[in-house]
Amino acid sequence: MKKILVTGATGFLGAHVIAALLRKNEGKVIGFKRSNSPMHLVTDFQDQVKWIDGDILDIFSLEDAMEGVDEVYHTAAIVSYHPSLKSEMENVNIEGTANVVNACLEKKVGKLLHISSIAAIGRINGQSLVSEKNKWNTWAGTSSYGMTKHKAEIEVFRGIAEGLHANMINPSVIIGSGYWDRGTSRFFPRVHHGQKLYPAGATGFVDVKDVAELSIRLMNQPDSGKRVIANAVNLNFLEFFNLLAKKMNVPGPSFKVNSFLAGVAWRTEAIRSKLFNVAPFLTKETAHAAMTKFEFDNTLSKEMLDMQYRNFEQTVERTAKDYLAWYTR
């Protein structure tokens, strides 16, 4: 039976990857986590996993954890658009990925699957459809997070050049049940509590369960050096927020945000976050991203991996149900 290591094992995506691996009986799963990581998302299958405490910034703990491992799913990362976390993102997303690659090479791990992001894919002026063919470029909407994920991909490709079998997926905005006070799961409490504003932009969305499924399918491919976009549907933000509102039986947003109001909003949110010492829901980078319109091509995932994405309305309905159960418990 294969030995499979998952970094970021108790995080939003890592927990769903582990759940999918166990459900498919892919092998013996090892969860690599920090000693103080919350276990809320893995309680249902906690006893089925071998847990190892460590840190991707500690190469020695990584190498110890990879002893005899056949496959590594690298999900650990910091996802943030807050300027204050730029240095931490550079450390975790870039240096941490370099450490994972180096440990895989040192321990002769058979395969690596790296979870990247659509933020690491370049944009072409005047072209709204984004595919895997797009070359990286620094454009007006490039975020610090996107830059760190791009540089993390460079580390993976460096590992491939050194003989590592590795592939990566680039998910769009991942939706699913997680920690309701962070990440994309925060959309649900925001809409539930009466968010009235919506930005003019559009982007792609994908079920976290589909990202986990696609990761396993790509891991099981014989070829190396592939990158695949994971995206179920392209929606504008009004459509997305109205869908959330519908599934939670609350009014949807009604006021469209223009560029001026977006600027006011992120500045106001910056002040609020400093006053109350909380993470801002909106930053300059997220405000800019929310005003842009891009669609993400999922053709490769369908043709190469025979991926059939879940109905996105059902994804939102399931997640809304989980959120409301948590909120009213």
Q: What crossing angle do the helices spanning 312-327 and 237-248 adopt, rounded to 10°?
A: 50
Q: Give the domains, in start order, of the chain with CATH numbers.
A: 3-178+203-234 (3.40.50.720)
When pLDDT is averaged across residues 94-106 and rounded to a whole number, the result is 98
Residue 26 CA to residue 229 CA, distance in Å, equals: 23
How far is Cα of residue 173 from the mean position of the Cα atoms in its chain?
A: 7
pLDDT digits (tens, 9 = 90+) for 265-278: 445 554 455 555 65
What φ, ψ does residue 115 adopt, rounded to 5°?
Answer: -90, 110
pLDDT at 284 over 70: no
Which residues, other chains included, contact 29 with Cβ-Cβ below 8 Å and sequence gap of 6+? 4, 6, 18, 21, 22, 48, 49, 50
pLDDT of 252 above 60: yes
b or e along 104-117 (b: 16 or more beta carbons within 10 Å of the residue's beta carbon)? beebebebbbbbbb
Chain position carrying tokens 């994804």: 315
Are 17 and 76 in contact by the 8 Å Cβ rule? The answer is: no
Q: How many helices (H) and strands (E) does the chain have?
A: 12, 14
Of 158 and 198, the structure prediction assigns the larger pLDDT to 158
- Residue-by-residue DSSP string for 91-115: IIIIIHHHHHHHHHHHTT-SEEEEE
Q: Name the average pLDDT for the chain.
A: 90
Lowest mean pLDDT among 95-99, 186-190, 286-290: 286-290
* Euclidean distance between CA atoms 293 and 173, whole angstroms: 14
The set of residues, in sequence order, having a beta carbon less than 8 Å from that of 104 and lying 6+ positions away, is: 66, 72, 112, 159, 164, 166
For the segment 187-196, the average pLDDT, to the nearest whole number, is 94
pLDDT of residue 290: 64
Residue 84 carries which DSSP code?
G
The residue assigned the tokens 């159960």 is: 325
Distances (CA, A) of 67 to 30, 63, 70, 71: 11, 6, 9, 11
pLDDT digits 0-9 by tens, 109-145 = 999 999 999 999 988 777 889 999 999 988 767 888 9
Q: Residue 146: is its pLDDT beyond 70?
A: yes
pLDDT reported for residue 84? 75
- pLDDT for position 266: 44
Query: What is the CB neighbour count within 10 angstroms for residue 271?
Result: 10
Task: Read off the pLDDT of residues 8-66 as tens digits, 9 standing for 90 and up.
Answer: 999 999 999 999 999 999 999 999 999 999 999 999 999 999 999 999 999 999 999 99
Q: Which residue has the higher pLDDT, 183 or 324?
A: 324
Euclidean distance between CA atoms 264 and 247, whole angstroms: 30
